[in-house]
Amino acid sequence: MTSPFDLTGRTAVVTGASRGIGAGIATALAEAGADVVRVARSGADISADLATADGALDLVAQLDALGRPIDILINNAGIAERNPAEHHTIQQWDVTLAVDLTAPFLLARELGGRMLERGSGKIIFLGSMMTWQGGRNVVSYAAAKSGVAGVVHALANEWADRGVNVNALAPGYIETDLTSGAHTDPERRETFRQRIPAGRWGTPADLGGAAVFLSSAASDYVHGVVLPVDGGWLVR
C-alpha cells in the first residue's frame, strides 16, 4: 500500500533552496520521492531574482520551459530588512514586500492557475512568528508575513473546492542566516532558547516533515492553515 506521504512522481519547486530552510525542505521532499527543482539567486537548478515582479514572472517562464507540470510550490524565499520603524526606509519596505509577499503571490497565481486547470496541486507559503507577533526593528518583515496569512486564507477560500491546497508553514527560531544575529550571540541565543518549550533552537531539517505533510495526499483536507513549527514558542 502506498504511503499517503509518498511524493514519488511529483515535481516540486522550492524557492530560496540554496541554503537554510529552503535547503532543508528541498531535501525532505526529495527524500519523500519528489523531483525537486531548486530555485535561488545562485547555486541552484534555476536562478531567479524575486525582488521584482518581472523576476518572478521570468521564473514562471523558466519553469514552463521545463515542459512538465509543477505539482508542489514552496514559496520559501525571503529577506528581512532590519531598522527601527522610525528609520525604516521606503526602499527597505519595498524590497521586503516584493520578495516576501508580492513574488510568492505571483508564483501562486501563475502556477496555481495551471494547477486549477489540472484539478490538483499543493502550494505552501512561508510565514513566520511575525505572522502573529510584531517583533522589533522588522516592521516591513512583520507586514509581509502578516500579509502571507491573508493571502493563504484568501486563496484557500477560492481554490479548496477546485483541488488545490494552499497552506503555510510558520518557522519559529531556526538556525539560519536570517537569525544569525541572535543565534551566534551566546547571550541572545540562550535568552531565546529559554523561551522555547522544546528547549532548543530549530534547524532547517525540523521543517521537513511538516513540508512533506502539506505537500502530500495526507493533507488533502487541510486548507488555509498557517502551521507553526516553533518548538512551542507561540504557546509559551
Q: Which residues are catalytic?
A: 141
Q: How far apart are CA 176 and CA 53, in angstroms?
A: 26
Contacts of 47 (CB under 8 A, 6+ apart): 39, 40, 41
Closest CA to 74 of 181, 235, 207: 207
207: buried, middle or exposed (CB in 10 Å: 19+, 13-18, 0-12)? buried
Residue 55 near residue 46, CB atoms below 8 Å = no
H/E element holding 55? helix 53-65
- The residue type found at 36 is V
Q: Is 190 helix (H, G, I), strand (E, B) or coil?
A: helix
Closest CA to 211 of 153, 110, 126, 121: 126
β-pair partners for 151: none
- The residue type found at 69 is P
Q: How far apart are CA 206 and CA 231, in angstroms?
A: 9
Q: How far apart are CA 223 and CA 228, in angstroms?
A: 15
